[in-house]
């Protein structure tokens, strides 16, 4: 590639709106451009890197026995009605209709689509396990799209779904995916920590998020330097005995008088057992439950509970609407004195908003998080901090921040039950498929890599996902002997399979060095007049800044050994 032809408009100044290094550098180096909030065009350099990330993902997925397909972005809203998520998902779900007024959604995730796809085809345990994935644009109407590619509205995700005959099968599929996910991070040059996202009463490790360690990350995590314990602060608040209050079983008993086990609770609420991964109960000073929430999925807005507890009750969607509340937000009829959190498991931090009211003793009428109260105020509710004792070994925990780049999740039978995706087991009994889901933010991974690999000069790409591995920088590209030298070397590099871009622009050396540093190609080969007179070129390692003189006729060999 010739840089004189490359469409990579760079910016001299830091763009004002960019708070994070990745956002700033991807804009400045001409990798992305914003079209509207949360909507970005990936320019040629970014697109090359994204394709490399995708290739790594495909390689790992295929090796793990998953099969790639491609499902449409638009999803028939009927499927979302069947799963119950059409109403429950909340305003993040982009709803559209066609010319015949038929309802569709822009898929924020594809559980419904894939369950519908297999439900009439999979009829026997002999067809299991099955693992399908695709790499597709997703749309989520995020409340606060920000940080460039990190929280976009349209973004690229690899999402995959496993189907097994039973829990044991699911666990096997899940662990295979978890291992593959760790490899994906490693191969993309991302330092990531697998953290327990949802400790789940239903058996330990049911969901893990891979958190790219970055000071600017939105997620607070804690990890133990002594054992392998790591959790995000949401999950951690569930596993650490920080919150005063009864043990989890008791909480559930409090929240659901007369019911103690998960199964009893779910029956009590009339929701499928598989849906119950997180439970939250708030009790007042006298131990009375103020609200109790059992979300149907990772998203709290999926709550379908409706129950009266003494003076307080949970509202269903209709009641919410009648009360003029924001859909998906549930509040107590009145906030009791000194409301205490006694949750044994946690909800996503953003969902703590539902627990807030703008004024005591009032409904949450018309409350808007952000406007009426700061989401941050609820951060107090997640109670795990650095220096708290590790629940496994007691060693003080270390705090860190991370960017969630991927997540693996044991779904269970939530979607298969709701959508009637069943099969005949070995004994001829009809059973719902047992599912897992696995997501990687492809475009977010690109940004996370930049977040981890940059310096004052710009991006420093890990070789595996660099748009070009080598930048060839002739200082006099259109003068002999420089011209003949770079053209010959360029041919050699291409022949050796090294992805090379040539800065053939008639720019001052300073401009070339700055741009190439900014764009972050891992190695630069600089062809200067003085060196060429002695038959040498300079090879610069972008990360260390080290420069080595190498004989011109050895240069291609030399960098081939580096990349
Ligand atoms: P977050 O907690 O950051 O909102 P999520 O848990 O809602 O993410 P998942 O439903 O687990 O996201 O989706 C799988 C992956 O898709 C995430 O791990 C993340 O890498 C990516 N992703 C999710 N939302 C976005 C977004 N708005 N922009 C870019 N990537 C995203
Ligand atoms: Mg989200
Ligand atoms: Mg998340
Ligand atoms: Mg997630």
Closest CA to 303 of 290, 319, 288: 319
Summarize pLDDT for 323-354 with one digit per residue, the tens.
443 333 333 322 222 223 222 333 322 222 23
Summarize pLDDT for 457-497 with one digit per residue, the tens.
999 999 999 999 999 999 999 999 999 999 999 999 999 99
Residues with CB under 5 A from ligand 4 (ion): 407
Pocket test for ligand 1, best of 26, 157, 445 (most atoms within 8 A of CB): 157
Q: How far is the CA of 317 from the centre of ligand 3 (A)?
A: 24
Q: Are the beta carbons of 41 and 30 closer than 8 angstroms?
A: no
Residue 470 C-beta-side C-alpha neighbours within 13 Å:
29
Q: 251: helix, coil or strand?
A: helix
Q: 134: helix, coil or strand?
A: strand
Q: What does the pLDDT average to over 233-260?
A: 32
Residue 480 to residue 160: CA distance in whole angstroms: 54
Regarding an ipTM greater than 0.90, the answer is yes
Q: How far is the CA of 184 from the centre of ligand 1 (A)?
A: 16
Q: How far is the CA of 403 from the centre of ligand 3 (A)?
A: 9
List of residues 6+ apart from 5 with CB closer than 8 A: none
Q: Is the C-beta atom of 367 inside 6 A of ligand 1?
A: no
Closest CA to 408 of 85, 250, 192, 236: 192
Q: Is the C-beta atom of 160 inside 6 A of ligand 1?
A: no
Q: 474: helix, coil or strand?
A: strand
Q: Which atom of ligand 1 is nearest to the CA of 152?
A: 28
Tokens (6 digits) for 80: 């979302």
Summarize pLDDT for 410-426 with one digit per residue, the tens.
999 999 999 999 999 99
Residue 320 to residue 113: CA distance in whole angstroms: 28
Averaged pLDDT score across all residues of the chain: 78
Q: Is the pLDDT of residue 370 over 70?
A: no
Q: Is the C-beta atom of 119 inside 6 A of ligand 1?
A: no
> Band of the pLDDT at 144, cuts 50, 70, 90?
confident
Q: Give me the pLDDT at residue 159, please.
A: 98
Q: Give me the pLDDT at residue 322, please.
A: 52
Phi, psi for 326 (deg, rounded to 5): -70, 135
Q: Give me the pLDDT at residue 266, please.
A: 38
Q: How far is the CA of 146 from the centre of ligand 1 (A)?
A: 13
Q: Across-strand partners of 162?
A: 131, 436
**What region does 120 belong to: left with phi over 0, alpha with psi -120 to 50, or beta?**
alpha
Q: Are the beta carbons of 513 and 503 closer than 8 angstroms?
A: no
Q: Which ligand is nearest to the CA of 152?
A: 1
Q: Is the C-beta atom of 520 inside 6 A of ligand 1?
A: no
* Count of other CB atoms within 10 angstroms of residue 319: 13
Q: Is the C-beta atom of 155 inside 6 A of ligand 1?
A: yes
Q: 218: helix, coil or strand?
A: coil
Summarize pLDDT for 427-454 with one digit per residue, the tens.
999 999 999 999 999 999 999 999 999 9
Q: Which ligand is nearest to the CA of 406?
A: 1
Q: Which atom of ligand 1 is nearest to the CA of 404?
A: 18
Tokens (6 digits) for 195: 């953290």
pTM of the model: 0.78
Summarize pLDDT for 84-119 with one digit per residue, the tens.
889 878 889 999 999 999 999 999 999 999 999 999
Percentage helix, strand, coil for the chain under 3-state DSSP, each rounded to 5: 30, 25, 40
279 to 79, 207, 367, 382: CA distances (angstroms)? 26, 15, 23, 14
Q: Give me the pLDDT at residue 390, please.
A: 76
Q: Which atom of ligand 1 is nearest to the CA of 409?
A: 11
Q: How far is the CA of 537 from the centre of ligand 2 (A)?
A: 49
List of residues 6+ apart from 133 with CB closer than 8 A: 61, 66, 67, 68, 69, 158, 159, 160, 161, 438
Q: Is the C-beta atom of 49 inside 6 A of ligand 1?
A: no
Summarize pLDDT for 274-329 with one digit per residue, the tens.
333 333 333 333 433 333 333 333 233 333 322 222 233 344 445 444 544 333 33
Q: What does the pLDDT average to over 395-403?
A: 91
Q: Is the pLDDT of residue 129 over 50?
A: yes
Q: Give me the pLDDT at residue 197, please.
A: 76
> Band of the pLDDT at 381, cuts 50, 70, 90?
very low
Q: Is the C-beta atom of 109 inside 6 A of ligand 1?
A: yes
What's the chain's Rg over C-alpha atoms?
27
| Helix (H) or strand (E) segment spanning residue 174 | helix 167-187
Q: Is the C-beta atom of 151 inside 6 A of ligand 1?
A: yes
Tokens (6 digits) for 482: 């420089």
Residue 129 C-beta-side C-alpha neighbours within 13 Å:
23
Q: Is the C-beta atom of 407 inside 6 A of ligand 1?
A: yes
The conformation of residue 380, written as its DSSP 8-state character, comes to G
């Amino acid at each position: 590639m010739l840089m004189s032809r490359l469409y990579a408009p760079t910016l001299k100044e830091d763009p004002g709106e960019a708070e994070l290094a990745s956002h700033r550098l991807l804009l400045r180096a001409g990798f992305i451009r914003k079209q509207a909030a949360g909507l970005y065009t990936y320019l040629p350099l970014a697109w090359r890197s994204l394709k490399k990330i995708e290739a790594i993902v495909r390689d790992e997925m295929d090796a793990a026995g998953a099969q790639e397909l491609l499902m449409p972005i638009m999803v028939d809203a009927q499927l979302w009605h069947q799963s119950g998520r059409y109403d429950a998902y909340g305003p993040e779900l982009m709803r559209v209709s066609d010319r015949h007024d038929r309802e569709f959604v822009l898929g924020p995730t594809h559980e419904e689509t894939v369950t519908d796809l297999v439900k009439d085809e999979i009829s026997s345990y002999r067809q299991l396990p099955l693992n399908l994935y695709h790499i597709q644009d997703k749309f989520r109407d995020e409340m606060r799209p920000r940080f460039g590619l990190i929280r976009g509205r349209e973004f690229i995700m690899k999402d995959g779904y496993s189907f097994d005959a039973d829990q044991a099968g699911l666990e096997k599929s899940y662990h295979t995916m978890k291992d593959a996910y760790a490899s994906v991070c490693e191969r993309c040059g991302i330092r990531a920590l697998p953290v327990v996202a949802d400790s789940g009463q239903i058996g330990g490790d049911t969901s893990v998020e891979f958190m790219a360690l970055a000071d600017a990350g939105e997620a607070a995590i804690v990890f133990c330097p002594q054992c392998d314990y790591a959790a995000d602060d949401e999950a951690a608040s569930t596993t650490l005995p920080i919150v005063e209050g009864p043990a989890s079983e008791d909480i559930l008993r409090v929240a659901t008088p007369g019911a103690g086990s998960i199964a009893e609770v779910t029956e009590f609420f009339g929701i499928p057992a598989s849906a119950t991964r997180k439970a939250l109960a708030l009790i007042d000073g006298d131990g009375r439950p103020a609200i109790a929430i059992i979300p149907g999925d990772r998203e709290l807005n999926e709550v379908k509970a409706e129950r009266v507890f003494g003076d307080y009750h949970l509202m269903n969607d209709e009641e919410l609407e009648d009360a003029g509340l924001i859909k998906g937000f549930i509040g107590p009829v009145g906030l009791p004195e000194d409301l205490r959190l006694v949750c044994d498991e946690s909800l996503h931090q953003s969902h703590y908003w539902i627990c807030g009211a703008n004024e005591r003793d009032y409904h949450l009428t018309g409350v808007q998080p952000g406007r009426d109260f700061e989401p941050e105020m609820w951060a107090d509710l997640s109670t795990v901090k650095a220096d708290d004792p590790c629940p496994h070994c007691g060693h003080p925990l270390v705090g860190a921040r991370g960017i969630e780049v991927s997540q693996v999740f044991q779904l269970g039978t939530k979607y298969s039950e709701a959508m009637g995706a069943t099969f005949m087991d070995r004994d001829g009994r009809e059973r719902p498929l047992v599912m897992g889901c696995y997501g990687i933010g492809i475009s977010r991974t690109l940004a996370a890599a930049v977040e981890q690999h940059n310096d004052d000069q710009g991006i420093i790409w890990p070789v595996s996902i660099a748009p070009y591995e080598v930048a060839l920088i002739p200082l006099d590209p259109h003068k002999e002997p420089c011209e003949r030298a770079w053209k010959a070397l360029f041919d050699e590099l291409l022949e050796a399979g090294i992805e090379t871009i040539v800065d053939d622009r008639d720019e001052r050396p300073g401009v070339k060095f700055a741009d190439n540093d900014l764009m972050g190609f891992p190695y630069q080969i600089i062809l200067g007049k003085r060196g060429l007179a002695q038959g040498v070129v300079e090879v610069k390692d972008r990360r260390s800044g080290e420069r080595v003189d190498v004989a011109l006729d050895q240069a291609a060999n030399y960098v081939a050994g580096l990349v």
